[in-house]
Structure 1
Amino acid sequence: MNHALKTYQTWLNDSAVDEETKNELRGIADQPNEIEERFYKDLEFGTGGLRGVIGAGTNRMNRYSVARTTQGLADYLKKDGQDPAPSVVIAYDSRNQSPEFALEAALVCAGNGIKAYVFESLRPTPELSFFVRRLQASAGVVITASHNPPEYNGYKVYDGTGCQLVPELAEKVTARIREISSFGQVHKLEQTEAEQKKLLVWLGSNRDQEYIRAVASVSPRSEQMKSLAPQLKIIYTPLHGSGNRPVRDALDALGFTQVSVVSEQEHPDPGFSTVASPNPEEKDAFAMAIRMAEKEGADLIIGTDPDCDRMGAVVRGPDGKFEVLTGNQSGALMIHYLLSSLKETGALPDNGAVVKTIVTSEMGAAIADRYGVQTLNTLTGFKYIGELMTRFERDGSFRFLFGYEESYGYLAGNYARDKDAVLASALICEAAAYYKGQGKSLYDVLQELYRDYGYFKEALISRTFKGKDGVDKIHSIMEDWRSRPPHDVDGTRVVRALDYLEGIEGLRRENVMKFVLEDGSWFCLRPSGTEPKIKIYLAVRKTSNKEADQALKQISEAILTRID
């Protein structure tokens, strides 16, 4: 009997597993491939924690995987942690079974004598990060699958600084999870008992303004916004997620009064019925918002993903048509606005730092350099940016100003340790209002930046390979490029081959390869930590828009010819 079938039988025979779940499993008894897919492994921590399709099985998201993971987290906090009276803050988004999974996690914490602070309704992931710090909790948990398809859910874990677990901590938690071989080992209280013992404490809407004030405090031109913000007309879509109330509250706090929400996408919907994908990286996700903006004559469109940690912006181009900004473009605009504002107001520190990932555009670094601000690189995953922020706070080496990644994640200020779409929404709207006061749009400013710093163009191409065979396929692609690195790409010489699996540039070992070309272009191969994909990042820098587009097309064709 193979491992998957043996584990499948263990679930069927476990008295702690309910009959409804067992009936679901009995329904696949004659489907060996489905049994293999559900049980060949446990869900693992990736760049975004635990994430998987909802359903019964060890390789699925369900109340048992949540309970087992939480028991492992509880054992870690009690046996390996530094807090003699540990506590956990728990939040969740609009996905299927998110409230149920959040309560399950809370009751397992309570069963282990660990106080759980749980939001009474859905909240943004960055608010969780803020309240882990605010309540001086030992850890945090968010039930979310970010922008994945509707059939997914997930479980993100945060340390006591409000930062997602870095690999060393994730491995310690994973080791504790692996010690749990039966669901009978999971300790859990009933809800009434947990509440009576004050081990389950509900966080209500009366606490939200603490977070909103922290976001608003990052504004570099709050006084000017009193007159400028009311002039900007904004369309916002929360894409059926948790951003609706907090984004509007943050904009209101800064003086934005002309904010209209896409009504069809305003309310939570776990099926994300109006979009193919609830992802602000996708232009299609903005289709309704663009129609509304054209009708209302709006200046700017913003959208946030279901757990409101990613923000996408859409701006008017020279012909009046709306164009979706890439994550790199939005990041460059926010860095330029923030640093120029701080310099103008005399608030730019001598030891300021911008932090970005190795797959993020170098345009932001070029802008930061002009303002005397150093740029540091991390591996992909905002937890590494958060980790550096905590180091800065402890040793005083730098003052963190802005952190971002190309995948639409941004943070400014020290109140949280994860990307924050509420903050990003506020900052991009503030920039748009400021430049509108100068007679310019964000598109105009972006073109000025290109003329000043060069035409940086980037692209991300993904190839999806599902299931166990897909994992093997992705591994073979990485090994092919690792064993046979290219000497040139489309005639341009490769001058640096960076294998991050070797632990280079002071970073952790990670299965990522980056190739730098003689003309400054680069590309990077990286298996996704949360989805069955291999991602190919491409970047060029040229002296004109046309040149950059052509170079990007040629380099992508050359790389995909080999991969496909």
Structure 2
Amino acid sequence: MEYKEKYNLWVNSEFLDEDSKIELKKLQNEKEIEDRFYKDLEFGTGGLRGIIGVGTNRMNIYTVGKTTEGLSQYLINKYKSDISVSIAYDSRIMSKEFAEAAASTLCANGIKVYLFESLRPTPILSYTVRHLKSKAGIVITASHNPKEYNGYKVYGEDGGQVTDNNAKEIFSFIEGINDFDKVKTMNLEEAKQSGLLVIIGEEVDKEYIDRVKALTIRKELVDKCANDLKIIYTPIHGAGNIPVRRVLKELGYNNVTVVKEQEQPDGYFPTAAYPNPEDPKVFTIALDMAKKIEPDIIFGTDPDCDRIGIVVKDSSGEYRVLTGNQTGALLTHYILSSLKEKNKLPKNAAVIKTIVTTEMAADIAKEYGVNLIDVLTGFKYIGEKIGEFEKKGDQKYIFGFEESYGYLAGDFVRDKDAVIASMLICEMTLYYKSKGMSLYEALMNLYNKYGFYKETLVSLELKGKEGQEKIEKALQYLRHSMSYSLGEVKIVKKMDYKISVEKDLVNINEKIIQLPKSNVLKFIMEDDSCFVVRPSGTEPKMKVYLSVIGNSIKDSEEKMELFKKNVMEVIDEACNC
């Protein structure tokens, strides 16, 4: 069906509310109409994510309703009876309304819903699914995207985001919902009275918080010295404020200063146009406060509190925002070294990272005799591996992380968790402080020991239908037409995750990649630098990940500058082929 035909169906539908019809009728720009209706908002392994507005390619109560109706049919088909779904939402615009719309449709299908009384972090939802033995979970969030966005993440009964096969099956049911009148709804008050809708809160929070605190490694140090650590924390207008502060307070970290201007939940993110702890701008107010407070650590969590960014003071006294890879390497080393020191490191211990995450983690894991496992980009694949370990019993999950500021210790949550990470980051900082070291000095020690790894990410925004076509053309060019060298450096390995083949270009042989198929390409150079190219699963972007290893900070920076120049010349050629 052409986009204009879909537009007319919406404008003339008896099921569409008048305000939505007025919004559509006011549209004058044909490109805007096309972008809203040229496709349905895609349901992938990340669920839905898009700009809030009216249209098939937008987040609204109709796309949420259609998706939930499809999810309901999937659950009924799979489980037949005794089905429940847990739902949480963050501080974003329309998050509560979308959560209630999802609850209404699930209840209308006879599915019991556990809905949080107010906003909660994504990791608490992951925990709740398993804690309440739900068959699925939903979080209404667009994570760290700008205020215009919202999203709908779906979790399986294991507490992890649904992965490829299940997502495809759910999508097949969603595709079958062609008309608004197929979406069932139920009044929420009636749902409560019938027992189909249960409002949850503190009782679940307490269980979760107790599990988080139990992950403390150096309990004696924390009990004795937690109050010595000076902390500045910003929830960036999101869902992390209450649980993060509660965990720290109950462990004795009383010297915590919260950025007041960013403390209250606000989906408009008035102090951070891009509410992402990867962006140094979100720490502007915190850094101004640091001049007086002189904290040992500054950190911030994103709107749904699954990502965390930290700021440390370097050797010159300047504050630096650490990358996700740097924080992940620090945590990996701290956790493994601490467990080994206390004779608590299992013989079958495993650390998991994604294919675009720093290789320093592999060096650290090797030193401690720990298995390092690579998975595709997306924390859902780390969660999936934890489930596999649990079933087989052959490996013990210790820690997992991805370069995009997501970390997880423990196995009672199956998604990245900034509440857990904030606690461990404070403990790690406190430990190094007790040794007379800053976190920055600890990082320099890792570089001196394992090599000066430097990674960077380039995101190319390519909006609309034309942008999606350009991304696909570029990947095809890189897959089939680019030369096997960059400047004077040869490519020695090429991994094509779409066809699951790794090519050794030196020894001229191939092997199968034992991971799910994904439209991702990775190239490894003869000097151990590498780059990965993939389309974003949640934004209209093509992402290019680059990594080099140097002999010093300066050397790695110079190598990265040249490598980035050479890679981006090829990417530019691919985008314009």
* 2:383 counterpart of 1:386: yes
Deviation sequence 1:70-123 (CA, Å, 0-9, x none)? 0000000001x2362110000000000100100000011100000110111100
SS state at 2:82 partner: coil
> Closer, same or farther in 2 for the Cα pair 1:387/1:83, shift >3 Å?
farther
> In the alignment, residue 544 of structure 1 is paired with which amino acid?
S
- Does 368-377 or 487-496 show the bigger shift? 487-496
CA distance in 1, matches of 2:291, 2:426: 18
Deviation sequence 1:152-205 (CA, Å, 0-9, x none)? 000000000010010111111111011111111111110111010111110123
Deviation at 1:47, TM superposition (A): 4.9
Deviation at 1:392, TM superposition (A): 0.1
Identify the residue that residue 25 of structure 1 maps to in structure 2.
24
1:413 aligns with one of 399, 410, 414: 410
CA distance in 1, matches of 2:40, 2:225: 52
1:457 aligns with one of 454, 459, 478: 454
Deviation at 1:45, TM superposition (A): 2.6
Identify the residue that residue 544 of structure 2 maps to in structure 1.
536
> In the alignment, residue 527 of structure 2 is paired with which amino acid?
D
SS state at 1:501 partner: coil
Q: What root-mean-square deviation, in Å, do the aligned CA atoms of Structure 1 and Structure 2 show?
A: 1.1
* 2:321 counterpart of 1:316: no
SS state at 2:43 partner: coil
Identify the residue that residue 472 of structure 2 maps to in structure 1.
475
Q: Alignment identity in percent?
A: 51
1:177 aligns with one of 174, 182, 186: 174
1:19-418 alignment runs, 5 A limit: 19-28=18-27, 30-79=28-77, 81-82=78-79, 84-418=81-415
Deviation at 1:276, TM superposition (A): 2.5
> In the alignment, residue 528 of structure 1 is paired with which amino acid?
S
2:490 aligns with one of 484, 490, 493: 493
CA distance in 2, matches of 1:546, 1:31: 49
Deviation at 1:434, TM superposition (A): 0.7
2:566 aligns with one of 558, 561, 564: 558
> In the alignment, residue 112 of structure 1 is paired with which amino acid?
N
Deviation sequence 1:1-49 (CA, Å, 0-9, x none)? x611111122123222111211111222x43222211011111134532
Counterpart contact for 1:235–1:302, Cα < 8 Å: yes
CA distance in 2, matches of 1:356, 1:426: 20
1:547 aligns with one of 542, 555, 559: 555
Counterpart contact for 1:138–1:160, Cα < 8 Å: yes
1:444 aligns with one of 441, 454, 467: 441
CA distance in 2, matches of 1:76, 1:502: 29
CA distance in 2, matches of 1:85, 1:13: 39
CA distance in 1, matches of 2:111, 2:245: 34
Deviation at 1:506, TM superposition (A): 0.4
CA distance in 2, matches of 1:303, 1:484: 43
> In the alignment, residue 541 of structure 1 is paired with which amino acid?
I
Deviation at 1:522, TM superposition (A): 0.4
CA distance in 2, matches of 1:282, 1:46: 26
* 2:507 counterpart of 1:507: no
CA distance in 2, matches of 1:347, 1:359: 29
> Closer, same or farther in 2 for the Cα pair 1:178/1:396, shift >3 Å?
same
CA distance in 2, matches of 1:134, 1:47: 23
Deviation at 1:468, TM superposition (A): 0.8
**TM-score, normalisation: structure 1:** 0.98
**TM-score, normalisation: structure 2:** 0.96
Residues matched between the structures, number: 561
Identify the residue that residue 504 of structure 2 maps to in structure 1.
none
CA distance in 1, matches of 2:370, 2:490: 31
Deviation at 1:295, TM superposition (A): 1.6
CA distance in 2, matches of 1:17, 1:205: 37
Deviation sequence 1:474-521 (CA, Å, 0-9, x none)? 111111111123321121111001111112420111111100001111
> In the alignment, residue 174 of structure 1 is paired with which amino acid?
F
SS state at 2:177 partner: coil
Identify the residue that residue 525 of structure 2 maps to in structure 1.
517
Counterpart contact for 1:89–1:132, Cα < 8 Å: yes
Counterpart contact for 1:47–1:380, Cα < 8 Å: no
Deviation at 1:397, TM superposition (A): 1.5
Counterpart contact for 1:304–1:310, Cα < 8 Å: yes
CA distance in 2, matches of 1:563, 1:455: 25
SS state at 1:444 partner: helix
SS state at 2:545 partner: strand
SS state at 1:502 partner: coil
- Does 413-422 or 44-53 show the bigger shift? 44-53
CA distance in 2, matches of 1:384, 1:440: 35
Deviation at 1:255, TM superposition (A): 1.9
CA distance in 2, matches of 1:83, 1:402: 36
Counterpart contact for 1:83–1:138, Cα < 8 Å: no
> In the alignment, residue 470 of structure 1 is paired with which amino acid?
G
Counterpart contact for 1:110–1:200, Cα < 8 Å: yes
Aligned structure 1 segments of 4 or more residues deviating by more than 6 angstroms: none
Deviation at 1:418, TM superposition (A): 0.2
> In the alignment, residue 228 of structure 2 is paired with which amino acid?
Q
Identify the residue that residue 7 of structure 1 maps to in structure 2.
6
Gaps of 5+ in 2: 502-512, 573-577
Counterpart contact for 1:118–1:203, Cα < 8 Å: yes
Counterpart contact for 1:52–1:60, Cα < 8 Å: yes
Counterpart contact for 1:70–1:105, Cα < 8 Å: yes
Counterpart contact for 2:44–2:167, Cα < 8 Å: no
Counterpart contact for 1:148–1:277, Cα < 8 Å: yes
- Does 87-96 or 201-210 show the bigger shift? 201-210
Deviation sequence 1:316-367 (CA, Å, 0-9, x none)? 1111111100000000110111011100111100000000000000011111
SS state at 2:85 partner: strand
> Closer, same or farther in 2 for the Cα pair 1:47/1:535, shift >3 Å?
farther
Counterpart contact for 1:409–1:420, Cα < 8 Å: yes
Identify the residue that residue 575 of structure 2 maps to in structure 1.
none
Deviation at 1:294, TM superposition (A): 2.1
